[in-house]
Amino acid sequence: MAPPPDHCPALVLNADFRPLSYFPLSLWSWQETVKAVFLDRVNIVSEYDRVVRSPTFTIRLPSVISLKEYIPATRRPAFTRFNVFLRDRFTCQYCGNPFPTQELTFDHVTPRSRGGRTTWENVVTSCSACNLIKGNRLPHVCGMLPLTPPFQPSVHELQENGRSFPPNFLHESWRDFLYWDTELEPG
């Protein structure tokens, strides 16, 4: 049986047929997708079996679309909590353990109270426990140095890290465009 339309997101590829984003994976709802098709902004690469009908049209829902116009990647990724976690691969930079996003915080390597700034070069991913233990101490005083010295990542580096985190749902038509195909069940 065909899945309900709400379970039919489309994988969005750039004009070079690579995903616009790996993590979070660039997915559009079927409504956004159909709108883009009618505006002639995308090519349909692959479709679901699912058909939606209105009084004026019938369309098979696209499962993979590619943009007609190439969107260049911004050179410097946004400095956000999420991107800091992604740079550090969701791993606490003090104890080295991975955590789900909601259990992670970020830590100023040089505490703000000691003049440390909120920048790529001074902020690392930390679990709550390590953050609490480190407190407002300088790294060399408490002996807690980040496993990887914090740095400004490139968009490419974040994309590479994002590839390691496949989403929960992968439609089979997406596998040709992703690098997680080896982890999928044989279809």
Quick note: the x/- pattern for Zn ion over 65-104, rule CB under 5 A, is ---------------------------x-xx---------
Cβ proximity to Zn ion, 85 vs 94, nearer residue: 94
Rounded Cα distance, 51 and 103, in Å:
40
Cβ proximity to Zn ion, 102 vs 168, nearer residue: 102
178 sits near Zn ion (criterion: CB under 5 A): no
Cβ proximity to Zn ion, 22 vs 90, nearer residue: 90
What is the nearest approach in angstroms of Zn ion to the Cβ of residue 131?
Answer: 8
What is the nearest approach in angstroms of Zn ion to the Cβ of residue 144?
Answer: 9
Neighbour-count burial of 69, counting CB atoms closer than 10 A to its CB (0-12 exposed, 13-18 middle, 19+ buried): exposed
Q: What angle do CA 17, 19, 20 make, to 5 degrees?
A: 110
Rounded Cα distance, 48 and 63, in Å:
6
DSSP for 129-166 reads HHHHHHTT--HHHHT---SS------HHHHHHHHTT--
Cβ proximity to Zn ion, 61 vs 104, nearer residue: 104
10 sits near Zn ion (criterion: CB under 5 A): no
Options 45, 65, 84, 127; binder of Zn ion; rule CB under 5 A: 127
Rounded Cα distance, 104 and 50, in Å:
39
Options 10, 36, 65, 130; binder of Zn ion; rule CB under 5 A: 130
Find tokens 């007609």 and name the residue: 68
Positions touching Zn ion (CB under 5 A) are 92, 94-95, 127, 130
